[in-house]
Amino acid sequence: MSFHYSIFGVTRRFALTDKLHNQLDAETVRGTQATTQVQPKSDPFSNLGAGEAIVTLLVSSFFAARIVCNLTVLLLYGSHAFFDEGLRVEDWKHSILSNGVRLPWYGTLMIGPAILPICAAAALGAEFVAKHLRSYLSQRPLWAMTGARLLGGAALLGLSVSLYLPLHAFSPRHPIPLSALVGGVVLVWIAFANSLRRLHRS
């Protein structure tokens, strides 16, 4: 009988020990899963937002193309052709210069790939400025934020109108002036809507 009780006691202690170890292992696994849980990736354009980031990329592509095209003419044909003769790239997609001559293949190759990093740098720079500008204006009166949005919207609307004029003669459905138009309208609308909402609450 004593032998039976001793065996039962040892078996019970082993069972309790195994149960305790299983509980500790489960807690350890849950703790490890909680600490090693993958954090969601931060949005690189959290201050601009997806819409404004797209507008920034499209609008900056216009200026990036102008900069790269002018640098290409300076490098290939010299300062005399650029400043004195007024040589420019008329259509870089079709490698046409303002005098009707086609760009060499390496000239076109100099333009296309160089536009992308300039657009990316412009978008990241706009995100950086938006972050600090938002932080600064959040501590200022309502009219400061409203004025900044109206100024930005007016600038985008002015750019859109200038691109539709005969000097550039973009088509009505071209994404660059159209994105500037939409972005400008949205900024102006947000400025007035937020102002009216706060005035109504007060």
How confident is the prediction along the chain (202 residues), in pLDDT tens digits per residue?
443 444 344 444 434 444 444 554 454 445 444 444 445 556 778 888 888 899 999 999 999 999 999 999 999 999 999 999 999 999 888 889 999 999 999 998 999 899 999 999 999 999 999 999 989 988 988 889 999 999 999 999 999 999 999 888 899 999 999 999 999 999 999 999 988 887 777 6
pLDDT of the residue at 92: 83
Determine the 3-state secondary structure of 193 from DSSP.
Answer: helix
Q: What is the 3-state secondary structure (H, E, C) of 135-189?
A: HHHCCCCHHHHHHHHHHHHHHHHHHHHHHHCCCCCCCCCCHHHHHHHHHHHHHHH
Contacts 24+ apart (CB under 8 A), 116-122: 118/60, 118/64, 118/67, 118/68, 119/57, 119/60, 119/61, 119/64, 122/56, 122/57, 122/60, 122/63, 122/64
Other CB atoms within 10 A of residue 141 CB: 9
Sign for the CA dihedral angle at 96, 99, 103, 107 comes to negative
Determine the 3-state secondary structure of 86 from DSSP.
Answer: coil
Domain range list for the chain: 43-129, 140-197
> What are the beta bridge partners of residue 96?
91, 102
pLDDT of the residue at 41: 54
Question: ∠ CA 55-57-59 to the nearest 5 degrees?
Answer: 65
pLDDT of the residue at 39: 52
Q: How far, in Å, CA of 92 to CA of 103, rounded?
A: 8
Q: H-type helices in 36-104, by residue range?
A: 49-79
| DSSP at 100 | S
pLDDT of the residue at 94: 87
